[in-house]
């Protein structure tokens, strides 16, 4: 419950405890998976299962590893053990991480500079000032966008710093690309794709480009495990996963509202995407792609106000100031998805052998 301190720029132990929580849970579940038979396990379970109990020094090393302790990224115990023992992809000499580390540090500096420039111009306190409510609808909507845009650069900064730390250690190395000549990949350290977030064509893409390692953790340890065998995941699995994420962030109403909103946002974006894929006309496909981009931009920056202000009253007041447009629009698209169902592409029948 230290969100108020974080909102004002203070930093305490909770950031480290959030990362530690994910590490402990994944380590325990992976050891539990190691006790099961491999048949019937998902690919991620087979890849990260631990068939042997880590030693105490290995466990503490994994939990308190420098570089990721305060802000992530989260990574797997199995990868950590292979890195420390120089096994797997680390068995052979890895390429120099210097240039990639410098790139991450330059990116961190640029992100912090932009945040320091923008934050005085778009303070969160404006949402509780009379001036904000004197503006028109479009002005208030624009301010919500700029508030969310500004806040994201703070996260881009800290994730870029932690990315540099993991890369320079060598743990961030994930192998070689298939290009010619092959290039070294450092994806284990990557926690955000800045352009991918700001120019997301669909809300479905956001978990793949924002807080990437935590999104992966949620998929492996919550989302996939909520899906019963033989059944497809639906809105309830998505909502359950987002609720777990909200509780992990902190017991503030703003977090809960934001992550429930994000589940609606993703579901509405899926509806638009299905319509887009069903269109044979390239012009209509392009129009729906543009609609999905605008939809994501609107709903994301509307929703993230709750993530920033945290309190129930301030969150509802900010949403009400733009007539709950970011809540109503996703609900409308979700409902339309039940009415306007695109025809599924017809699979060609196999010709009978003569």
Give catalytic residues, as residue numbers: 249
Helix (H) or strand (E) holding 176, with range, is strand 175-176
Tokens of 151: 């806040």
CA distance 6 to 265: 26
- Residues 61, 65, 70: CA angle, nearest 5 degrees: 140
Tokens of 199: 């120019």
CA distance 188 to 175: 10
Q: How many CB atoms lie within 10 A of CB 326?
A: 23
DSSP three-state, residue 252: coil
Burial of 132 (C-beta count, 10 Å sphere; 0-12/13-18/19+): middle
R_g over Cα of the chain: 22
CA distance 166 to 212: 15
Q: Could you say which DSSP state residue 178 is in?
A: S
Helix (H) or strand (E) holding 185, with range, is strand 184-185
Task: Please check whether residue 195 is in contact with residue 177, taking contact to mean a CB–CB distance below 8 angstroms.
Answer: no
């Amino acid at each position: 419950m230290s969100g108020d301190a974080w909102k004002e720029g203070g930093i305490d132990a909770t950031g480290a405890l959030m990362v530690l929580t994910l590490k402990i849970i994944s380590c325990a579940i992976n050891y539990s998976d190691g006790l099961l038979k491999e048949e019937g396990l998902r690919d991620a379970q087979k890849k990260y299962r631990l068939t042997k109990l880590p030693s105490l020094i290995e466990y503490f090393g994994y939990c308190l590893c420098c570089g990721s302790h305060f802000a992530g990224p989260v990574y797997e115990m199995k990868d950590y053990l292979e890195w420390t023992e120089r096994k797997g992809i680390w068995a052979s000499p890895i390429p120099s991480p210097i240039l990639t580390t410098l790139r991450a540090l330059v990116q961190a500096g640029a992100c912090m500079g932009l945040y320091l420039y923008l934050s005085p111009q778009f303070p969160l306190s404006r949402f509780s000032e009379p001036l904000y409510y004197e503006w028109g609808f479009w002005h208030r909507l624009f301010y919500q966008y700029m508030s969310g845009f500004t806040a994201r650069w703070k996260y881009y900064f800290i994730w870029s710093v932690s990315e540099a730390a993991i890369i320079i250690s060598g743990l961030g190395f994930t192998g070689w690309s298939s290009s010619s000549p092959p290039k070294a990949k450092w994806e284990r350290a990557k926690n955000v794709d800045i352009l991918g977030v700001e120019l997301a064509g669909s809300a479905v893409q956001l978990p793949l480009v924002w807080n990437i390692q935590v999104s992966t953790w949620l998929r492996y340890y919550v989302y996939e495990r909520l899906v019963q065998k033989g059944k497809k995941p639906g809105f309830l699995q998505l909502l359950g996963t987002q609720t777990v994420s909200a509780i992990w962030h902190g017991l503030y109403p703003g977090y809960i509202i934001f992550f429930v909103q994000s589940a609606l946002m993703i579901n509405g974006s899926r509806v638009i995407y299905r319509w887009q894929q069903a269109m044979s006309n390239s012009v209509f496909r392009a129009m729906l792609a543009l609609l999905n981009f605008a939809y994501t931009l609107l709903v994301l920056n509307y929703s993230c106000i709750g993530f920033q202000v945290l309190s129930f009253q301030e969150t509802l007041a900010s949403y009400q100031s733009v007539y709950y447009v970011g809540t109503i629009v996703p609900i409308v698209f979700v409902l339309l998805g039940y009415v306007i169902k695109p025809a599924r592409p017809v699979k060609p029948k196999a010709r009978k052998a003569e």
